[in-house]
Amino acid sequence: MSGKADYTALEMMVVQASRMIRDGEVVFVGTGLPMIASMLAKYLHAPNAILCCEAGFWDSRFLHIPMTVGDSRWYVGSTWCAGQSYMFSLLQRRRIDLGFLGGAQVDKYGNINSTGVGVQLRDGYYVFGKRFEGSGGAADIASMANRVIIMMKHERRRFVERVDYITSPGWYVWLHDFKDGRGRVRLVPRWELGMWGGPEAVISTMGVMRFDEETKEMYVESYYAELGITPEDIKRNTSFDIKVDEAEPAEPPTERELELLRKQIDPEHIFLRE
């Protein structure tokens, strides 16, 4: 990438994500960029945001950045700690305002695949051409958080027309018809399944995408102009036809945001290395 920026794409992603967090929200974060984004938001415009994680830590004020789910660093400053069934039940009770997700593939409706690509039935078993880690809590967060933000590397093979496997449901899903037996699929909007929430934005290494109110298809809201990205770059790196005509250059990070990220939040450069 070329451009005049003195910051990286990862830092830009974190800043974009941070700005979407509202004060007072309960944010379900995994480890990695979402956690850093949430911390940044807490330092700036959302001091009352509450961070929680699947391992069970609540409202942590960690001094060092946790590196794993359940990292002991979460413990410091937490006002409660429990376990997975407690945390995921908050999702099912619609008490989690915002969840973050990533994955290997995302499609135009915001379905995410973090299970594997090239799924096929072989000898009656499902197998993958390439297998990934799996859902973990992703399917739970995608289906039951009130808002979801997706963070992904922007590559053609990752932004696809239809994901090979829906780990985490987006706005429209290919649903199996339980009544009529195996193998019959139809495209259904999530609200027809009685679901709430849904993906609000996709923050990639190239720009920020949103979903059209009517069609629920992904479009480009902004692109990282200072990092040398153009709307055409995003189009070229997206394998479905994505609307870019409303796209605007993204608001760059402020000095304060970058300073907090580099000196305060991830001084060990565990996550924000290039």
Partner 1 sequence: MSKVMELREALKRYVRDGSVLCLGGISLCRRPMAATYEIIRLGIRDLHLIDIAPGMPQILLALAGSASVVEGCWHGYELFGHPYMWRNLVERGPKETGYRFDDESHYMLSLRFVAGWLGVPFIPTYTARGSDLWNPEFDNLWDLRGKRRRVAAKKFAVVENPFKEGELVRLLPAINPDVTIIHAQMAAPDGTTRILGAHFDDFVHAAAADHVIITCEQIVSRDTLAVNPEMNLIPSIYVDAVCQVPYGAHPGSCLGYYDYDPWFLNELVRVTREGEKNPEVFQRWLEEWVLGVEDHEAYLEKLGLRRLLALRADPALGYAPTLPRRLHEMPPPP
Please give the residues from 61 up to 90 whose contact with partner 1 meets the rule CB under 8 A: 63-64, 67-76, 81-86, 88-89
Report in angstroms the alpha-carbon separations of 25 from 33, 52, 59, 63, 85: 18, 11, 11, 21, 21
Q: Measured from the CB atom, is 3 or 267 closer to partner 1?
A: 267
How many residues sit close enough to partner 1 to count as binding (CB under 8 A)?
A: 74
Q: Is 269 in the site for partner 1 (CB under 8 A)?
A: yes
Residue ranges of E strands in 55-110: 57-58, 80-81, 98-101, 105-107
Instruction: Spell out the residues 6+ positions from residue 169 whose beta carbon is closer than 8 angstroms to its own.
Output: 111, 139, 142, 143, 190, 195
> Of residues 124-143, which lie at the interface with partner 1 (CB under 8 A)?
124-140, 142-143
Q: Give the shortest CB-151-to-partner 1 separation in angstroms.
A: 15
Q: Give the shortest CB-15-to-partner 1 separation in angstroms.
A: 21
> Of residues 207-246, which lie at the interface with partner 1 (CB under 8 A)?
none
Q: Is 54 in the site for partner 1 (CB under 8 A)?
A: yes
Token couple for 85: 């069934």
Q: Is 180 in the site for partner 1 (CB under 8 A)?
A: no
- Hey, how many other C-beta atoms are within 10 angstroms of the C-beta on 253? 24
Indicate which single residue of 121, 214, 245, 263 sits in contact with partner 1 (rule: CB under 8 A). Answer: 121
Residue 192 C-alpha from the chain's centroid: 23
Q: Please give the positions annotated as active site.
A: 54
